[in-house]
Structure 1
Amino acid sequence: MFKPNLIIFLFTLLLLNTSLCLRNRKEDKTKCPKVKAIRNFDLERLLNKWYVIEYYASSEEALPYRCMRADFTMSSLEVITMNFTYSFTDDPLNEQLLGNITWIIPNRAEPAHWIHSEDTYEGIYNTYVLDSDYGSWALLLHCAEKSKVPRYLSSFIMSREPTLGVNVISYLRDKLPRYDIDLSFMFDMPQNDCNSSSLANIPPSILANMNRPVQLGERRHPMKHIHG
């Protein structure tokens, strides 16, 4: 018969071994994390206009965008479109660019999970609504995966207004590390001076050498990431 102390000792060894195995197990960076989307999700309440307040993308080590705003529409019970505007932070003209992305809902029982429906991306592109109160804030996670290459993660903290309370932002940020998002690369999205396109403060030397269609037209918009 085992003595109580021996049983406790063996149980402790088992726990330590399990912990070491989990710690040493390599995470599959080619696959999207398992995501638990919001329950009892009301898609229609999420529609219409949002400001992107904070932005993360696994391929970005600095924030390339500013003034990102999104407008969600639904053309049917299974098709969602997001039209959005944004500018590049290094564009002295602050040109407002347009983009869009369309999703389908693969399972009507899970309306907070969408799949990219366009053929410009080769692979699986998931979007999840992680949380929202519909009237003030929302949190989205995007994950694209393609065979034998690293996955692509991005996330939006969104608000119905150009600003969002610090406590709410902190609450939403706390939900992201479990999906392997590094909060040190979660950037504030400036929403000030978004309609300014004055040439008055741009040096003539820059104006003389600018070729705007080449510089901006060749740059992929933030929701069209394609693995290299």
Structure 2
Amino acid sequence: MILARIVVCIFLIFSVNAQIPSFGRCPEYDAKPDFDKEKFLGTWFEVERYFTVTEIVSKCIKVIYERRPEMSKFISIIFLTFCSNNVETIISGKFSLIGKGGDGRFNVRYESFPLNYNASLVVLDTDYKNYAVVWSCSNITPFGHTESAWLLTRSITPSGNVLQAAYGVLDKYKINRSFFVKTDQSNCVVLPPPQEAVDTTTAAPIAKNEIAPEMIDNVTKVVVVDNTPIEEIKNETK
């Protein structure tokens, strides 16, 4: 009885932190064979997911996979958490393929959490152009495990055919779709960061036909990993 209580307590502690808890060891799922990491790079929008504590009250979630010549490979995960002032939260890290025979297994090391956090992810299937189904599992005790799953698409509004193809992957591996929650991708507008006050009495006048810098770039963001700028997004006015 004491052993059973300890197991249940540990199981509950881990299940609170993330994912869907289940009894038994992690199931053995095959990753996508001959995984083409180059085709997988780019932006993916999260459409549905298992409950994950890191994504509570988050919306407009997307993940950007990139490869930089100066940093080999890394993954930058961007959470857009909309509060009263539309704050964008960015979580970034690095990834490396760990699959045998070139399959779609990789390890992610998130570096912008309060503590470093590692996760092993499995791409169950993807067509690279439309959808990807990503899964993760952790054995937390000899008697239980937790699972996470994400349904990603290239389009923020995927078609029914794309969703059905992704659902087919979940059904193939008997992943329970009733635990999935839909990600809110509506009204995904991020306010630009506040501009520093300028003393207009000393600032240089703007010449005729010259546009002030803040009117050229409505939004400018720089994501930094290891103090190195890795992404700059500029939306220029027409």
TM range (shorter): 0.5 to 0.7
**1:155 equivalent in alignment to 2:141:** no
How far is the alpha carbon of 1:147 from its aligned partner? Answer: 4.0
Q: Any conservation in 2 of the 1:58–1:153 contact (CA below 8 Å)?
A: no
**1:193 equivalent in alignment to 2:187:** yes
Q: Which residue of structure 2 lines up, in the alignment, with residue 50 of structure 1? A: 44
The CA deviation string for residues 165-209 of structure 1, in whole angstroms up to 9 with x for no partner, is: 1232123123225656431221221222212449xxxxxxxxxxx
Q: Which runs of 5 or more structure 2 residues have no equivalent in the other structure?
A: 1-20, 193-238
How far is the alpha carbon of 1:28 from its aligned partner? Answer: 7.1
The CA deviation string for residues 22-71 of structure 1, in whole angstroms up to 9 with x for no partner, is: xxxxx9736322111112221110001111111223669x9632100111
Find the partner of 1:67 among 36, 42, 60.
Answer: 60
Q: Any conservation in 2 of the 1:68–1:189 contact (CA below 8 Å)?
A: yes
Q: Which residue of structure 1 lines up, in the alignment, with residue 97 of structure 2? A: 105
Q: Secondary structure at the match of 2:26?
A: coil
Q: Any conservation in 1 of the 2:49–2:183 contact (CA below 8 Å)?
A: yes
Q: Which residue of structure 1 lines up, in the alignment, with residue 116 of structure 2? A: 120
The CA deviation string for residues 204-226 of structure 1, in whole angstroms up to 9 with x for no partner, is: xxxxxxxxxxxxxxxxxxxxxxx
How far is the alpha carbon of 1:141 from its aligned partner? Answer: 1.0
Task: Output the TM-score relative to the length of structure 2.
Answer: 0.58
Q: Which residue of structure 1 lines up, in the alignment, with residue 231 of structure 2? A: none
**1:34 equivalent in alignment to 2:28:** yes
**1:95 equivalent in alignment to 2:87:** yes
Q: Any conservation in 2 of the 1:29–1:150 contact (CA below 8 Å)?
A: yes
Q: Secondary structure at the match of 1:64?
A: coil
Q: Secondary structure at the match of 2:80?
A: strand
Calculate percent identity across the aligned residue pairs. 19
Partner Cα separation in structure 2 for residue 28 and residue 162 of structure 1: 31
Q: Which runs of 5 or more structure 1 residues have no equivalent in the other structure?
A: 1-26, 199-228
Cα-Cα RMSD = 3.4
**1:136 equivalent in alignment to 2:130:** yes
Count residues in correspondence. Answer: 167
Residue type of the partner of 1:82? I
Q: Secondary structure at the match of 1:44?
A: helix
Go from structure 1 to structure 2 and tell me whether the alpha carbon gap of 1:185 and 1:107 turns closer, same or farther (over 3 Å shift). closer
Residue type of the partner of 1:64? V
Partner Cα separation in structure 1 for residue 80 and residue 183 of structure 2: 11
